Chains A and B, each alone.
Chain A
Amino acid sequence: MKTLLATLILLFALQTSSKAQCSINFKKEYKDKLEGIYLSDFEVTNRPDSDGITKFTVLLREGSKYIIYLTNPSVPLTDIKLTVTRDEQYLKLESDVNSVENYITYNLKPKETGAYHLYIEFCDKSIKSCVALALYLDEDE
């Protein structure tokens, strides 16, 4: 029941070659290393002709703890920005950089159940790059 009611987000970014795909890398390299209950993963590609921002809307549940991982092995992690909003209000996220595995972890514990918007922004909009987003449930919560 706890599993059903709790949701965890893993946001995972991968900078890959133009012929590779983020989600492939994510599943191959990271899926087994990360803790929690896997829920889903997404792929975000930045194309030079786009505005460099991709939006995801997710339904999150109050009382559950979500973890967002962001990684990009090819470019500095600082080149990717994650923003979370709820009712047009920005949410403060706690982050932790793992320089060995090259990803950032964000923790998110919603105060209310509902729709939250995740924005992934590529700071350098001129290059083609890729992000994979996945969801995990924090089992400790």
Chain B
Amino acid sequence: MNNSIDNIFKEKVSNLSSIPENTLWTPEKGWDEYQKMHSKRIKPFSKLVLLAASAAATVAIIVALSIGTNIFSPKTIIISSAADSIRELLLPNGSKVWMNKNSTIAYSTKKSGEFNLKLDGEIYVEITDEPKAPYTIKAGNAIITVKSPTKLNVRAYPNDTDIDITVRDGSVSVSDNILGQGLALLVTKGNYCSVSRINNFAFATANTNHNYLAWKTGKLIFNETPMATVTQVLRQYYGKEIIIADDTVAYYSYTGSFNKESFDNVLVLIQSDGNIEMSMDGNVVTFSKKTVIN
């Protein structure tokens, strides 16, 4: 060992251009001095590598853990409304939401501020301030993106064949899951959009349904409305089964309005119009043509 150190040292020293005079040295002492002088540049580098490797390993462990435990995923809040009442909420991003009966929303906010809301049921949303980050509502296979102050109603009960989006103020873009976000319909104030759950067909046109917010306001308005449409609205609003027994009744037009009336009162008022008579069997109401007795 000593011989080898001695030899190395001597070899190194012989390479030096000058050796200080009166230098006192032993192979061990000289080797120590040599190592102090020449290893200084290597040691700090090794420490850095070690430090970087440790940091990388730590990050890798945290990432691996986070994937498994979702510690970095935004927290999802789930809220449901009861079967017999509507619910009003103020969401963390400042938007106001009214939930119709039997509705569920699940929302989350990403660190970037991006707000995502998933809907099963029906909601009316008011976004009064300019959204600072993307605001997306996912209802069935419809993806609704809000980029400006908007008021809209979204109906997407799981049993409905279509998702209906009605824009009261502002505008939204609507796309389906197949076309993706790049291709969307722009739905502006006073218009309505429908996306089929069955075939993904999406269209937008002017809204002619004046009762789309009846669930929230309690007001029903019919203006020369065919009875087929009247019964459809009543079915949706009161959740009752209504059958039209006579085809001609479907074409009767009805004009009238109701403000938070009970279902029984509405039936009485429609019947008093003269052309229709009704019968009730359990929860099923049947509309038929009034029998004229001579």
Task: Find out whether the CB atom of B178 lies under 8 angstroms from the CB atom of A5.
Answer: yes
Cβ-based interface call for B205 (8 A): yes
Asked if B203 lies at the interface with its beta carbon under 8 angstroms from chain A, I say: yes
* Interface residue? B200 (CB, 8 A): yes
Nearest Cβ distance between residue B12 and chain A, in whole angstroms?
76
> Interface of A with B (CB < 8 Å)?
3-5, 7, 17-21, 24, 28, 37, 39-40, 42-43, 45, 54-59, 61, 113-115, 135, 137
Choice from A24, A43, A55, A135 contacting B201 with Cβ under 8 Å:
A135
Tell whether A24 pairs with B250 under 8 Å between CB atoms, given A4-B178, A59-B183.
Answer: yes
Which of B186, B203, B208, B247 has the most chain A CB atoms closer than 10 A to its own CB? B203
* Contact in complex: B228, A24 (CB < 8 Å): yes
What is the bound-complex CA distance between A7 and B179, given in angstroms?
A: 13
Q: Are A57 and B204 in contact (CB under 8 A)?
A: yes
Q: Is B194 an interface residue (CB 8 A)?
A: yes
Does B288 interact with chain A (Cβ within 8 Å)?
no
User: CA A5 – CA B186 in complex, angstroms?
Assistant: 21
Q: A4-B200, A20-B226, A24-B226 are in contact. Are A56 and B251 (CB under 8 A)?
A: no
Chain A residue at minimal CB-CB distance from B198: A39
Q: Decide: A58 and B201 in contact? CB cutoff 8 A.
A: yes
In the assembled complex, B116 has its CB within 8 A of some CB on chain A: no
B178 near A19 with CB under 8 A, answer no
Which residues of chain B are within 8 angstroms of A45 by Cβ–Cβ distance?
208
Partner of A21, one of B199, B204, B229: B229
Residue in A18, A20, A40, A114 whose beta carbon sits within 8 Å of that of B196 in the complex: A40
Residue in contact with A137 in the complex, picked from B162, B175, B199, B224, CB distance below 8 Å: B199
